[in-house]
Structure 1
């Protein structure tokens, strides 16, 4: 039963990753990002890839916290 749940999670993760990749590839126009003190003009694809990576890292860190509390008990 646990293997089936892992497979379903893997499939859902792959579908979400595929949708994210398609979305990122379709948005390549340059955009200006204002950080307050300075402005940077980058292709939107780079901004989106960085944001997806930050989201994945945040999700992973939050998941690790939950796993840490499970193992501690």
Structure 2
């Protein structure tokens, strides 16, 4: 059996990956801690649900907090 070791990336190592062709411009990835994480694609249903939730949350909080959808 072969042991597999995960590569730990620094910010300095992560940024050039796109320039070197390892990551395409449309790849949905981000560096979280030392790992490159593939971001899930949001569906239309998820986007609409998030928008409706934030609208209701804004009404509920009534200027006591700022709410942003990301």
Q: TM-score normalized by structure 2?
A: 0.33
Q: TM-score normalized by structure 1?
A: 0.32
| Greater helix share, structure number | 1
